[in-house]
Structure 1
């Protein structure tokens, strides 16, 4: 959950925790614990939403961006290894199917 959170925040920084949970494909309670560790390590920061004091946004810190940049090549390597020997069309169809499945099981209001 921590690495997935860093990956999501590297693309969409400053999103609400509930949105981050959906994009990182993790339960909000699990994400909360992961964010506690990321905050403690100085990789992300939480801020109260400017328009809704009940909501919290999460931002990647400079240290978090550096950590993500160091870890991303290893993630990309693992991703490439997973799809070794699988053609582009088959990979694309597989990923599209997974996205559809995620949309089917992850209900959200945004």
Structure 2
């Protein structure tokens, strides 16, 4: 028998029964993998990595975040984010400033050069985004975003 039981003795379907093409986490990973590959191609002429562009994008919308917040919003582990920010600081794209409330915490800000760089890469990001939603109308997109927000609320582990 392929069915199993969870801790409450409720029968649960196997992945084989659900199928990969009906398993949302698999589809989301495939979509983001393809998006990131397309983005990498679009960034070849900009000397930036996908993690760097994610950081630029998040900071372009909400400048002055802590490394923790930036790690959450960019979906990048804090150790990787710290190394990414080291490189970005060396490139003059970001600056770190001590938080007024807690001198142990550093907030990250875009420099003018960082904002200019983000504005240069935004067309490549937007193109990759647009390609993903070809033939998806506004109502479908709105429903999709609402569903993603609901899922994110279900799994959220951070206050932000």
TM-score (norm 2): 0.63
Aligned-pair CA distance for 1:105: 3.4
Aligned with 2:138 (options 84, 88, 91):
88
Q: Deviations over 1:20-59 (max 9, x none)?
A: 1122222212211211111111100111111101211000
Aligned-pair CA distance for 1:19: 1.1
Alpha-carbon RMSD: 1.5
Aligned-pair CA distance for 1:95: 2.3
Partner of 2:111: 61
Aligned-pair CA distance for 1:75: 0.5
1:5 lines up with 2:55 in the alignment: yes
Partner of 1:100: 150
Is 57-66 or 6-15 further displaced after alignment?
6-15
Aligned-pair CA distance for 1:96: 2.5
Aligned-pair CA distance for 1:65: 0.6
Matched residue of 2:134: which SS? coil
TM-score (norm 1): 0.89
1:39 lines up with 2:95 in the alignment: no
Q: Which has the larger radius of gyration?
A: 2
For CA contacts below 8 A with separation 6 or more, give which structure has more relative contact order.
1
How many residue pairs get matched?
110
Q: Which runs of 5+ in 2 are unaligned?
A: 1-50
Aligned-pair CA distance for 1:98: 2.5
